[in-house]
Chains A and B, each alone.
Chain A
């Protein structure tokens, strides 16, 4: 006979407002094997927990039912509570009287009746629960950081400073990310390079950090504490050890190509560094363009002749690196919405309609125009510059219903920079709203209007077309209620923040969920904002949602702390409520292997028979395998068939008796 204690929570008026607690207590006392029942205004409070502990001792309880909220909310709380009173933490069952009852019903009588049934079900299950012991695994104390933008850089530095090893993998030939393309940053107008490049240098010289640029993750196996990762280091065609970074090779290369880094506003060579302050400073050869690769081995080789360090290596091959990591921080950043989708804005055919990132490169002193703002069509200085916000953002028809969050602020900043660079110029900003939530943000936007004379016009631009050498921007001033037309010399489009186009592929490699827009999903939007659902994989920066620099740095720091938390102990305690295969019953069909979303099941040989086997440390206890198992060989610990059947049968006990059907005894 079990000795079950039932603890009914009022949750203030959340439950007690709809459910009649007295009646529930009465009914609970009549349930078999229940030896103690009590209520509490807030069972989760310190006094509520004390009361549970006291009751366990006084009434010698061996199983506990807490009838309160969702287990998502407080299962961990109450497990810890009964554990500290000497019970196995898995001898707890929660009856959800709040989300499943009081919050979704109005009728007091019916809600009370349902509450009683839910408690009956919980008692039926708790009686059959068995103690479970967490699984312990060793931890590989090396972190993998994916993405070398500001978020990845910050996470890598933070983890390294805590004394752990880090491998930072960046797809491009340099770290720095989008932040390295920017000129000044809102709202303080810090020069982006001045605050970023020292951090980039720090990464390069940090002894705990292994920097792999021009590299991509190809495969991730394993689990928290022990990820096995395969990384492809693409052939740079330049020996990273020999190269001194002098740049002679770049000088001599005869090919001139549009620079991706400058978004087509400038040129680069076939052997190049994306920008002069690139880290590492070792150039890379673009094998799709270089004559040696396109025209033949004996062609050109100008760079090779110019190199004083004999570092050019046309024969270099991709290198595949395999490493073990205890945790992964995903900081792969964002991409930008392609403005060509807007035919009404010219669809890319007007040279003087540019994207905000192009404007950023233009206004940057290290950019293709040396910091001069010009009309790309004729190189002249513009006078009237129109900024168009929400190009893509908040446009359901274009598939982006969300706000990109940073455009209001960077547009205000660009209007300010425009005025500083060209005092005679005038900025017009078309916006839907001005979203300036952030420290000193609203004040910044106000300054741009009153001190820098930017004219904000509330309304989306309907059309942009050419008239002579001017661009006519048509819109409506919805505040004044009049249609407006602005004759512009230059138009800057604030294109939406989108996820990286290949983020779903990466998500599949990492086995982490992502949302309908390709942004990686967090485990809980408020309480676990930098953790992915997969244990040991954390999120930082704009790969999760549009973020500005302060937010990216903050989430990177938070993710780093989570990594350090894992590494602080030598062993990991893993959830024991997982699948277990009974090899004797297993028919070896391996349907379970097919459906497992975590790749936790592998094939094994037992007495020359093929059977399924579960990796304890990968299994997340989702139960999909148990559901497809035809021979019922898979048991979900803490959710066994006998436990669940008795739980389901509990509310129908009387009906079953009447029908003279036997209760499933299992």
Chain B
């Protein structure tokens, strides 16, 4: 039986989320409108409103090891409609970050891998090189021919360039990555185990 533990301060997790995201989840009265509008809700094991509820009652492990926080597409439908104006997207962002920092196993490895290739591409060129990202991701996930047909169609119409194109203000991109370096390093050294 999973139980609400009260050995530690019950607000510990919600306070942490509040400190990192600026969002006060105690305002949530569980109307469920966020989950009702979420385009990915049908894929989620734990619905977005329940994630908020679990934060309220300090169920940190359940939240940080859930797939919900990785499946969230940050489309902001929830935040746009929330009657209490809780920015769920910010909260989800913070939860993903905490999940990585504290070494929880990500149940959606594909998503994590995709995010890493995506960021690597942005780091190198200042924008995403779609062809490179697609190829890397598909090779790494051992499905090299997955998007081939679609890729060729897009390529023929000139929608995806063959070579990566570097943007002009690369120094600014470098600045952004430098700022987030401590987090990225921790993420790289952590990972797995929990």
Q: Which 9 A-B pairs have the closest CB atoms?
A: A484-B4, A450-B26, A480-B53, A485-B3, A479-B53, A479-B30, A449-B26, A482-B2, A487-B6
Within A467-496, which residues are at the interface with B (CB < 8 Å)? 477, 479-487
Q: Name B residues whose Cβ lies closer than 8 Å to a Cβ of A.
A: 1-4, 6, 9-11, 24, 26-27, 29-30, 49-50, 53-54, 56-57, 59
Q: With an 8 A cutoff between CB atoms, is A457 at the interface?
A: yes
Cβ-defined contact, A479 with B10, below 8 A:
no
Cβ-defined contact, A426 with B24, below 8 A:
no
Q: With an 8 A cutoff between CB atoms, is A455 at the interface?
A: yes
Q: Which of chain A's residues have a CB closer than 8 A to the CB of B4?
A: 457, 477, 482, 484-486
Q: What is the distance, in angstroms, from A188's C-beta to the closest C-beta of chain B?
A: 22
Bound complex: CA A480 to CA B26 (Å)? 14
Q: Which of chain B's residues have a CB closer than 8 A to the CB of A450?
A: 24, 26-27
Which residue from chain A places its CB closest to the CB of B9 in the assembled complex?
A426
Name the one of A434, A458, A477, A486 contacting B6, with C-beta atoms under 8 angstroms: A486
Q: Which of chain B's residues have a CB closer than 8 A to the CB of A449?
A: 26-27
Q: With an 8 A cutoff between CB atoms, is A446 at the interface?
A: yes
Bound complex: CA A21 to CA B1 (Å)? 68
Bound complex: CA A453 to CA B1 (Å)? 26
A and B contact pairs by CB, cutoff 8 A, 20 listed: A426-B9, A449-B26, A449-B27, A450-B26, A453-B26, A455-B56, A457-B4, A457-B57, A458-B30, A477-B4, A477-B57, A479-B30, A479-B49, A480-B53, A480-B59, A482-B2, A483-B2, A485-B3, A485-B4, A486-B6
Q: What is the distance, in angstroms, from A429's C-beta to the closest C-beta of chain B?
A: 12
Chain A interface residue count, Cβ-Cβ cutoff 8 angstroms: 21
Q: Which of chain B's residues have a CB closer than 8 A to the CB of A485?
A: 3-4
Name the one of B10, B29, B54, B59 contacting A455, with C-beta atoms under 8 angstroms: B10
Bound complex: CA A485 to CA B3 (Å)? 6
Bound complex: CA A428 to CA B6 (Å)? 11
Cβ-defined contact, B27 with A455, below 8 A:
no
Q: Check A455/B2 contact, CB under 8 A, given A446-B27, A479-B30.
A: no
Cβ-defined contact, B3 with A481, below 8 A:
no
Q: Which of chain A's residues have a CB closer than 8 A to the CB of B30?
A: 458, 479
Q: What is the distance, in angstroms, from A486's C-beta to the closest C-beta of chain B?
A: 6
Q: What is the distance, in angstroms, from A422's C-beta to the closest C-beta of chain B?
A: 15
Q: With an 8 A cutoff between CB atoms, is A384 at the interface?
A: yes
Bound complex: CA A477 to CA B50 (Å)? 11
Q: Which of chain B's residues have a CB closer than 8 A to the CB of A428?
A: 10
Cβ-defined contact, A480 with B27, below 8 A:
no
Q: Which of chain A's residues have a CB closer than 8 A to the CB of B1?
A: 483
Q: Which of chain A's residues have a CB closer than 8 A to the CB of B11?
A: 453
Bound complex: CA A481 to CA B4 (Å)? 11
Q: Check A480/B54 contact, CB under 8 A, given A453-B11, A455-B10, A486-B4.
A: yes
Q: Check A484/B53 contact, CB under 8 A, given A450-B26, A450-B27, A458-B30.
A: no
Q: What is the distance, in angstroms, from A489's C-beta to the closest C-beta of chain B?
A: 11
Bound complex: CA A446 to CA B29 (Å)? 9
Q: What is the distance, in angstroms, from A479's C-beta to the closest C-beta of chain B?
A: 5
Cβ-defined contact, A482 with B27, below 8 A:
no
Which residue from chain B places its CB closest to the CB of A453 in the assembled complex?
B11
Bound complex: CA A481 to CA B62 (Å)? 12
Bound complex: CA A482 to CA B1 (Å)? 8
Q: Which of chain B's residues have a CB closer than 8 A to the CB of A458?
A: 30
Bound complex: CA A581 to CA B129 (Å)? 105
Cβ-defined contact, A483 with B50, below 8 A:
no
Cβ-defined contact, B10 with A426, below 8 A:
yes
Q: What is the distance, in angstroms, from A447's C-beta to the closest C-beta of chain B?
A: 10
Bound complex: CA A457 to CA B6 (Å)? 14
Q: Which of chain B's residues have a CB closer than 8 A to the CB of A434?
A: 29
Cβ-defined contact, A455 with B57, below 8 A:
yes
Name the one of B6, B49, B50, B57 contacting A384, with C-beta atoms under 8 angstroms: B6
Given A455-B56, A480-B53, 20 more A-B residue pairs with CB atoms under 8 Å apart are: A426-B10, A428-B10, A446-B27, A450-B26, A453-B11, A455-B10, A457-B4, A457-B57, A477-B53, A477-B57, A479-B30, A479-B50, A482-B2, A482-B59, A483-B3, A484-B3, A484-B4, A485-B4, A486-B4, A486-B6
Q: Which of chain A's residues have a CB closer than 8 A to the CB of B9?
A: 426
Q: Which of chain B's residues have a CB closer than 8 A to the CB of A457?
A: 4, 57
Bound complex: CA A458 to CA B53 (Å)? 11
Bound complex: CA A263 to CA B64 (Å)? 47
Interface centre among B2, B11, B26 (most CB of A within 10 A): B26
Interface readout for A433-473 with B: 1 if CB under 8 Å, 0 if not?
01000000000001001100101011000000000000000
Cβ-defined contact, A480 with B57, below 8 A:
yes
Bound complex: CA A457 to CA B3 (Å)? 13
Cβ-defined contact, B6 with A480, below 8 A:
no
Q: What is the distance, in angstroms, from B3's C-beta to the closest C-beta of chain A?
A: 5
Q: Which of chain B's residues have a CB closer than 8 A to the CB of A479?
A: 30, 49-50, 53
Which residue from chain B places its CB closest to the CB of A477 in the assembled complex?
B57
Q: Which of chain B's residues have a CB closer than 8 A to the CB of A487?
A: 6
Bound complex: CA A457 to CA B53 (Å)? 10
Bound complex: CA A331 to CA B25 (Å)? 44
Q: Which of chain B's residues have a CB closer than 8 A to the CB of A486?
A: 4, 6
Q: What is the distance, in angstroms, from A381's C-beta to the closest C-beta of chain B?
A: 17
Q: Which of chain B's residues have a CB closer than 8 A to the CB of A426?
A: 6, 9-10
Cβ-defined contact, A481 with B50, below 8 A:
yes
Bound complex: CA A450 to CA B11 (Å)? 11
Bound complex: CA A453 to CA B29 (Å)? 14
Bound complex: CA A455 to CA B6 (Å)? 12
Q: Which of chain A's residues have a CB closer than 8 A to the CB of B2?
A: 482-483
Q: Which of chain B's residues have a CB closer than 8 A to the CB of A455?
A: 10, 56-57
Cβ-defined contact, B57 with A484, below 8 A:
yes
Which residue from chain B places its CB closest to the CB of A480 in the assembled complex?
B53
Interface centre among B2, B49, B53 (most CB of A within 10 A): B53
Bound complex: CA A42 to CA B178 (Å)? 78
Q: Which of chain B's residues have a CB closer than 8 A to the CB of A483?
A: 1-3
Bound complex: CA A446 to CA B6 (Å)? 22
Cβ-defined contact, B3 with A480, below 8 A:
no
Which residue from chain A places its CB closest to the CB of B56 in the assembled complex?
A455
Bound complex: CA A479 to CA B49 (Å)? 9
Bound complex: CA A479 to CA B54 (Å)? 9
Bound complex: CA A458 to CA B30 (Å)? 10
Interface readout for A278-320 with B: 1 if CB under 8 Å, 0 if not?
0000000000000000000000000000000000000000000
Q: Which of chain B's residues have a CB closer than 8 A to the CB of A384?
A: 6
